[in-house]
Amino acid sequence: MSAAVPTDDPLVRERAHLTSSRAALRAMREEVEALDIKDVTANWVNSIVLERQIEDRVKALADLAHTPLFFGRLDYLPPTQHGQRFYIGRRHVHDAHGDPMVVDWRAPVSQPYYQASKKDPRDVGLRRRFGYTGGELTAYEDERLSDPTEEERTSRLLQTEIERPRVGPMRDIVATIQPEQDEIVRAGLSGTVCVQGGPGTGKTAVGLHRVAFLLYAHRERLARTGTLVIGPNRSFLQYIEQVLPALGELEVKQATVDDLVAHVEVRGADEAATAVVKGDARMAEVLRRAVWSHVTAPAEPLMVVRGSRRWRVPAHELEEIVRELRERDIRYGAAREALPQRIAHAVLVRMEQAGEAPDDRVQNAVARTAAVKAVVKECWPAVDPAKLVLRLLGDADFLAEHAEGVLDADEQKLLLWAKPARSVKSAKWSAADAVLVDEAADLIERTHSLGHVVLDEAQDLSPMQYRAVGRRCTTGSATVLGDLAQGTTPWATGSWEAALTHLGKPEARVEELTAGFRVPSEVIAYASRLLPHMAPGLAPVESVRENPGDFEVRTVAPETADAAVVAACADALRHEGSIGLIAADARIAPLAAALEAAGLACLSPGEETTAESRLTLVPASLAKGLEYDHVVLDEPAAVVDGEPDERTGLRRLYVALTRAVSGLTVVHAAPLPEQLAVSA
């Protein structure tokens, strides 16, 4: 036998396929780069648009050193797909004849890669997973799904991928999407899906992959209508922002709910009780009444002078026109724009009755006369949404008039500013006020609706915020992701049915994810002790991690507490991966000083970790949705006490306890919250 590598070694053949696929991808990219658009573009606007499209396409065809071109292979059993073999990757690659070398993970032909099982092989003869080390194809693993003699076993490669320590921002999970996750990822565009799942069950990952899937399946439609991912805060959005570009999707917008409703500058904050009333769905009715209260019946007849003739429309007829417009299901502003033409039409009818033959131009001219404008101004005045809310929050009588029978006296009192603001500019608007302004704005002019919206950490939204998100997908669909046990706002939703109704999607499907991919079993068991106390009825997450996790609770003396936290961080830094030091917001400043004094540099949430700086100091209020390889949790009692009530405090603690991937060290000087004691 020769010393050369045997050619029947499957790994050698797979590497050869990888090499030729990369060559094919390079050829595809060169073909796009060589496109000469001079002859095809008639004008410079077209050419700029085309150039950008080409640039994007070139970017999408980049061969990324650390992103393997394919991660799996499917061999179908004939006659399905003619018994063909498909390599599954992040993007489609074809050879010079147009034959696929790699198929997109989103293509229908790839779906059995995620869904096929021994019980339901879906005509798959062989599923092969590939393992890579630093961009090199180094391993593979086979499952002969249709072979009855082969036993079902857990995939080592899949498990290794799940166990891999976390370092920087969130990464995609295309190689290891689980069947129940895949069902949600590939759900049709027309329906709204709501996913309830405990910490680390992959809700965010599923939501992002769903957008990527929908963009693949409905590219043109969604390019026209737009897609949006909504997250709780900026650091969360920074944490997830690289996932979609890594999947070749560069056009998806990201925002917080506050960004969406930024009509006014938010400089104030509400007391919890006030914010609860402002976020209550009944506010929509108060605003609706307040906006429409501006419409009044005309008291005087209209007199239009044209040339030598005068045309009169009696008040009762004007009133009829106004009433008819009011009864139509259109926005206040749209009706206001239609009103001058309606009045002018009434004048025109009179002209015709008098034997004249006026055309459209005459009607337009009448609509623009000062007399018609005066009627419109009097009985259908322009309404500015911010001014309207300003008045509601500053004028007790105006509020009482429109809140009657909707809000009780105490609730109205809570709404009113202690000192009414003078102007929209000087008012100390709160985040909840901005949502009210958005509701009012929508009553006046319809909000633009997108094709698909992903709403993450949805449990924390108020009914009014759900409405604000809902009007941005009235003509589209949504993916709603959340965990009722992680709701930490005073208005957090208690049921998905209620939330979906406020969103305007009561028919949405609610799915549940229960397998935990983040938190090791020992840590999730510890955190789950809190569940019966703050979210009874919700089942604990079942960790699929094999690593039980490094879990330690260190009890220290109060005077050495900060030093003990610093020491725990230093210990954690001896291992690879990212470290998150999570503490009650009030503890952030002293801990930052202690870390600095000890010479340990730290980042803020959302800042990207690097090999040199891996420690992030995270206020408990910003921990939601994030994860770190190792978490040091400072003083659980302070995290609970940092919230206005115990239930919210325990939920905040639950969030903090469930951010760890490989290990959790709890450091405390104060007694631990009693709910963390072993539950009976």
Per-residue tokens: 182: 């895949």
Instruction: Indicate whether 232 belongs to the interface with ligand ATP (CB under 6 A).
Output: no
The stretch among 50-58, 82-90, 202-210, 319-327 that binds ligand ATP (CB under 6 A) is 202-210
Rounded to the nearest whole angstrom, what is the least distance from the CB of residue 250 to ligand ATP in the complex? 20
Q: Which of 201, 227, 233, 578 binds ligand ATP (CB under 6 A)?
A: 201
Rounded CA separation 299/319 (Å): 8
Q: Which of 110, 178, 488, 648 binds ligand ATP (CB under 6 A)?
A: 178
Supply angle C-alpha 231, 233, 239, rounded to 5. 75
Rounded CA separation 103/416 (Å): 59
The stretch among 96-104, 170-178, 252-260, 386-394 that binds ligand ATP (CB under 6 A) is 170-178
Tell me the torsion sign for CA atoms 141, 142, 148, 152. positive
**CA distances, 1 to each of 4, 5, 9, 662 (Å):** 8, 10, 14, 47
Q: Which of 89, 625, 636, 673 binds ligand ATP (CB under 6 A)?
A: 625
The stretch among 86-94, 201-209, 265-273, 598-606 that binds ligand ATP (CB under 6 A) is 201-209
Rounded to the nearest whole angstrom, what is the least distance from the CB of residue 78 to ligand ATP in the complex? 30
Rounded to the nearest whole angstrom, what is the least distance from the CB of residue 483 to ligand ATP in the complex? 5
Angle between helices 431-444 and 385-394 (to 10 degrees): 130
Per-residue tokens: 165: 């320590």
User: Tokens 């090999």, residue?
Assistant: 611
Q: Which of 110, 181, 616, 648 binds ligand ATP (CB under 6 A)?
A: 181
Task: Give the nearer residue to ligand ATP in terms of CB position, either 375 or 481.
Answer: 481
Instruction: Indicate whether 173 belongs to the interface with ligand ATP (CB under 6 A).
Output: yes
Instruction: Indicate whether 442 belongs to the interface with ligand ATP (CB under 6 A).
Output: no
Neighbours of 665 (CB within 10 A): 24
Rounded CA separation 554/552 (Å): 6
Instruction: Indicate whether 202 belongs to the interface with ligand ATP (CB under 6 A).
Output: yes
Task: Give the nearer residue to ligand ATP in terms of CB position, either 164 or 326.
Answer: 164
User: Tokens 């060559």, residue?
Assistant: 23
Q: Where are the alpha helices (DSSP H) in 416-477?
A: 431-444, 463-470
Angle between helices 385-394 and 396-403 (to 10 degrees): 100
The strand pairing partners of 145, in sequence order, are none
Instruction: Indicate whether 483 belongs to the interface with ligand ATP (CB under 6 A).
Output: yes
Rounded CA separation 73/19 (Å): 15
Interface map 583-622 toward ligand ATP (x if CB under 6 A): ----------------------------------------
Of 383, 374, 372, 386, nearest to 293 by C-alpha is: 383
Rounded to the nearest whole angstrom, what is the least distance from the CB of residue 670 to ligand ATP in the complex? 25
Per-residue tokens: 581: 């030091």
Rounded to the nearest whole angstrom, what is the least distance from the CB of residue 158 to ligand ATP in the complex? 7
Rounded to the nearest whole angstrom, what is the least distance from the CB of residue 518 to ligand ATP in the complex? 4
In one-letter notation, the amino acid at residue 668 is H
Q: 117 phi and psi, to 5 degrees?
A: -145, 175
Rounded to the nearest whole angstrom, what is the least distance from the CB of residue 199 to ligand ATP in the complex? 4
Instruction: Indicate whether 214 belongs to the interface with ligand ATP (CB under 6 A).
Output: no
Supply angle C-alpha 564, 566, 572, rounded to 5. 105
Per-residue b/e over 180-206, b at no fewer than 16 CB within 10 Å?
bbbebbbbebeebbbbbbbbbbbbbbb
Task: Give the nearer residue to ligand ATP in terms of CB position, either 116 or 407.
Answer: 116
Q: Where are the alpha helices (DSSP H) in 61-147?
A: 111-115
The stretch among 197-205, 292-300, 346-354, 530-538 that binds ligand ATP (CB under 6 A) is 197-205
Rounded CA separation 380/60 (Å): 52
Of 642, 637, 647, 646, nearest to 667 by C-alpha is: 637
Supply angle C-alpha 177, 174, 214, rounded to 5. 95
Rounded CA separation 631/636 (Å): 13
Instruction: Indicate whether 543 belongs to the interface with ligand ATP (CB under 6 A).
Output: no
Q: Which of 162, 453, 461, 657 binds ligand ATP (CB under 6 A)?
A: 162
Torsion of CA 456, 459, 462, 467, to 10 degrees: 50
Rounded CA separation 266/278 (Å): 15
Rounded to the nearest whole angstrom, what is the least distance from the CB of residue 415 to ligand ATP in the complex? 33
Task: Give the nearer residue to ligand ATP in terms of CB position, either 274 or 486.
Answer: 486
Rounded CA separation 541/366 (Å): 69
Task: Give the nearer residue to ligand ATP in terms of CB position, either 658 or 662.
Answer: 658
Instruction: Indicate whether 247 belongs to the interface with ligand ATP (CB under 6 A).
Output: no
Q: Which of 143, 280, 411, 627 binds ligand ATP (CB under 6 A)?
A: 627
Binding residues: 197-204
Site for ligand ATP in 30-69 (CB under 6 A): none
Site for ligand ATP in 504-523 (CB under 6 A): 517-518
Rounded to the nearest whole angstrom, what is the least distance from the CB of residue 629 to ligand ATP in the complex? 10
Rounded to the nearest whole angstrom, what is the least distance from the CB of residue 292 to ligand ATP in the complex? 41
Instruction: Indicate whether 233 belongs to the interface with ligand ATP (CB under 6 A).
Output: no
Per-residue tokens: 79: 């006659």
Rounded to the nearest whole angstrom, what is the least distance from the CB of residue 203 to ligand ATP in the complex? 3
Q: Kindly state the number of chain residues that form the binding site for ligand ATP, as judged by CB under 6 A.
A: 22
Task: Give the nearer residue to ligand ATP in terms of CB position, either 580 or 625.
Answer: 625
- Which letter does DSSP use for residue 267 in this model? -
The stretch among 14-22, 171-179, 214-222, 504-512 that binds ligand ATP (CB under 6 A) is 171-179
Instruction: Indicate whether 199 belongs to the interface with ligand ATP (CB under 6 A).
Output: yes
Site for ligand ATP in 648-667 (CB under 6 A): 658
Instruction: Indicate whether 254 belongs to the interface with ligand ATP (CB under 6 A).
Output: no
Rounded CA separation 484/194 (Å): 12
Of 501, 471, 498, 474, nearest to 487 by C-alpha is: 498
Neighbours of 654 (CB within 10 A): 25
Task: Give the nearer residue to ligand ATP in terms of CB position, either 125 or 516.
Answer: 516
Q: Which of 18, 25, 205, 637 binds ligand ATP (CB under 6 A)?
A: 205
Task: Give the nearer residue to ligand ATP in terms of CB position, either 143 or 411.
Answer: 143
Binding residues for ATP: 197-204
Q: Whose CB is nearest to ligand ATP?
A: 202
Rounded to the nearest whole angstrom, what is the least distance from the CB of residue 208 to ligand ATP in the complex? 8
- Residues found near ligand ATP in the complex (CB under 6 A): 161-162, 173, 176-178, 181, 197, 199-205, 483, 486, 517-518, 625, 627, 658
